[in-house]
Structure 1
Amino acid sequence: MDQPTETLTNAQGRDENHAAELSVILPTFNEAANVPLVLDLLRKTLVGVRWEAIIVDDNSPDGTTDVGRAIAATDAQVRVIRRIGRRGLSGACIEGMLASSAPYVAVMDADLQHDETLLPKMLAELRTGDYDLAVASRKVEGGAVGEGLSKVRAWGSNIANGLAQKLLNVSLTDPMSGFFMVRREKAEELAPKLSAQGFKILLDLVSSAGGTLRIKELPFTFKERLHGESKLDTLVTLDYFGLLMAKYFGNVVSVRFLMFGLVGASGLFVHLLALKLFLDMAGLEFNLAQTGASFVAMTSNFFLNNQLTYRDRRLTGLKVLIGLLTFYAVCSVGVLANVGVANLIYSDPTYWWFAGAAGAIMGAVWNYAASSALTWRKS
């Protein structure tokens, strides 16, 4: 007589015969101290739920990947994806969602600022079949920013929310939220439309869906980070506006190109300022002043692009100097076009600004193509 099949369990005594119903995606960068804590909280919160955690780490120098793998070695509910040569919250979230086979996937920060006790409530809403997406909102009744954001960041978040709602017709009260749960089939369907760059995966997801997602918002309070530093810096503002513009124009151009364009716009200001200084204070003749201003703007653009546009391919150490020299070299043709066009236009000193701007714009297209292919080429 056949013996009954013995149920397999892992070190925590959980049933391993059934696939996970819920995958919790934890995008990480330098979260070694927080990963064990957030996993403990998930174990306490998701009792009775077949779940797994997928840690997607951007090759953190603090050993986040090693910490996650050490836990995964004794807990089959934890998986780790280590990304080499790729960085960015949105890209990590997309890879994590596509690595899941569970019917539901949740995205939450690993820094303990998101309230994990909301996960069962989100899951319950999606299980009803009435909703495709459950979002943790700080803006609905009962939600609050709490101590997790400074006054300046809270103010900026409100402005960003308003722009998203007006420009993209997004009905979410908190489109800047990074804490949500979605049916995996919907995430799979929308994945080809999503940008791997940037930080606002929820906004991208909802705007890409074009109003087809059935959404439930649940209140939550944003908590204060315990360990590590926030990944949000001032340059993320440009990144966010790039995403807004890309979505507003129907993804006709990539977010990266728009980022390059925004940096180029700042470079235009730097160029004109330097040109004015060279003409008035240094007393240089126009051709020499225009050339000098071009290199000042190129230097500014290089460092901004390295920090923002190509943050997933960011150059560090000696590669920064090599990259800068390469940037100068590949853009030399753009400089020649820049100076040539500007010189053709410049006849009346009153219109120095128009001549300078025309020359700078002429070189922009070449600069983007050459720098993408050579300076920040994919390794």
Structure 2
Amino acid sequence: MNDAPGPTLCVVVPCYRERPNVAPMIASLDVALAGIDWEVMFVDDDSPDGTADEVRRIALTDRRVRCLRRVGRRGLSSAVIEGALATSAEFVAVIDGDLQHDESRLPLMLDAVRGGADLAVGSRHVGDGDAAGLASPLRERLSATGIRLARMLARAPINDPMSGFFLMRRATFEALTPRLNGQGFKILLDLMLAARAPLRVVEIPYRFRPRQAGESKLDILVLVQFAGLLIDRALGGVVPLRFLAFALVGAFGMAVNLLVTLILRRAGVHFATAQTIGTIVAMIGNFEMNNRLTYRTIRLRGGAYWRGLVLFMLVCGLGAVANIGIARALYRGDTAGLAASAVGSAIGVVWNYAVSATLVWRAR
């Protein structure tokens, strides 16, 4: 029986396609955390480039290195949650796997939490910190927009609520876990919003470095998911975020359907034909948007994409039949036509969401 105590600090590294950065990350942590009992937990979302294999290769000769490989699950926030819950360390730090965060700031962050802070955040926007490592004007605009949105909801003063670089006690993290949304990429803000009382936050400045290898995961859809987190928090988590996204995509599809039908009618196409074409175009558009946004973390690719498209159209077709049937039944019962249509549409949306989640985008 091994009675050795667990490590003081676990550094959780959520990663996807970061194989070239694994060894440099471990070497950097070894230097930065000299004198601290630490371990690193790479949480890999089944990267096709062999990220998990590289972690295990190093772990064979370094017991501080651990790998948690997730199959059929994707997403930075959920990866961080699983990694933090899988360690016995007293403190948990989160750092991106792309080497853009400055690991040399970790001892200062650890001292801040030991000194009474609930949360130490690596910040690009205090002191001599900067965000020069953002690769493009688009990333700069996305980050700036996210920061403005986050500051409106954050319950504690913070200059960099979009940071993915922070440290806290594991016990604090675990206490907040049941109230976390767990979706998207911005786990820090999720933690702050989950706290019943404002967290005591200390920001440690750091310089955001340029990415040396791999590819950035930040795009416009990440900001959309981030906005979804804010909406979810504003609604108190009563309605599932994915259902909201699915319903919004469905509303967009209705607009597309109407627009295509109108254009074809003005071109002289028979109504039934125009409506059929509009419906098909809307279904294809809805599938693509749901695949890229609503189910981004389990996105269908290759042959699964085309099978999913056919199945989605069948599901939506049945949903449309149910929609019309229910609306007609209610209308015959002297219910106002608009109300009957609304009830039928609502039931159709719930049907499409439930069946699509079960059959089309089921976890693999």
Question: Is 2:174 the counterpart of 1:188?
Answer: yes
Shift of 1:163: 1.4
1: distance between equivalents of 2:223 and 2:275?
Answer: 30
3-state SS of 1:34 partner: helix
Q: What amino acid does structure 2 have at the position aligned with 1:237?
A: L
Deviation at 1:276, TM superposition (A): 2.2
Which residue, out of 56, 68, 80, partners 2:67?
Answer: 80
Q: How far did residue 31 of structure 1 move?
A: 0.3
What SS does the aligned partner of 2:39 have? strand
In structure 2, do the counterparts of structure 1 residues 227 and 214 end up closer, same or farther at CA, with 3 Å as the change threshold? same
Equivalent AA in structure 2 for residue 101 of structure 1:
S
Q: Given residue 93 of structure 1, which amino acid in structure 2 is its aligned partner?
A: V
Aligned AA (1:212): P
Q: Give matches, 1:54-69, under 5 Å.
A: 54-69=41-56
Q: Name the stretch that deviates more: 288-297 or 180-189.
A: 288-297
Residues 135 and 262 of structure 1, relative CA distance in 2, 3 Å threshold: farther
Name the aligned partner's letter for residue 98 of structure 2.
D
Equivalent position of 2:297 in the other structure? 312
| One-letter amino acid of the counterpart of residue 152, structure 1 | L
Runs (5+) with no aligned partner, structure 1:
1-7, 9-15, 345-354
Structure 1: distance between partners of 2:155 and 2:125: 17
Specify the alignment match of 1:124 in structure 2.
111
Percent sequence identity over matched residues? 47
Q: Distance in 1 between matches of 2:213 and 2:30?
A: 20
> RMSD of the TM alignment (CA)?
2.6
User: Structure 1 residues 275 and 164, CA, compared in 2 at 3 Å: closer, same or farther?
Assistant: farther
1:220-277 deviations in whole A, cap 9, x for unaligned? 1211100011112222222111111001111112222222233334323322322222
Please, which of 83, 90, 94 is the counterpart of residue 77 of structure 2? 90
User: Residue 168 of structure 1 contacts residue 244 of structure 1 at CA under 8 Å; is this kept in 2?
Assistant: no
3-state DSSP of counterpart to 1:331? helix
Letter in 1 for 2:27: D
Q: Does 1:254 align with 2:240?
A: yes
In structure 2, the CA distance between the partners of 1:97 and 1:79, relative to structure 1 (3 Å rule), is same
Quickly say closer, same or farther: Cα 1:265–1:218, change in 2 above 3 A.
Answer: farther
Name the CA distance, whole Å, in 1 between partners of 2:350 and 2:261. 21
**88, 101, 105: which is aligned to 2:92?**
105
Cross-structure match for 2:312: 327
The residue correspondences of 1:16-165 to structure 2 (distance < 5 A) are 17-128=4-115, 130-165=116-151
2:249 corresponds in structure 1 to: 263
Gap regions ≥5 residues in structure 2: 330-339
**Equivalent residue runs for 1:170-209 within 5 Å:** 171-209=157-195
Paired residue secondary structure (1:369): helix
Secondary structure at 1:221 match in 2: coil
CA distance in 2, matches of 1:265, 1:106: 40
When the two structures are superposed, what TM-score results if normalisation uses the length of structure 2? 0.90
Once the two structures are TM-superposed, the CA of residue 375 in structure 1 deviates from its matched residue by 1.1
Find out whether 1:367 has 2:330 as its counterpart: no
Q: Tell me if 1:289 matches 2:274.
A: yes
Q: C-alpha deviations, 1:322-359, integer Å up to 9, x for none? A: 11111111111222355679999xxxxxxxxxx99998
The aligned amino acid for 2:223 is T
Structure 1 letter corresponding to 2:275: Q
Change (3 A) 1:30 1:137: same
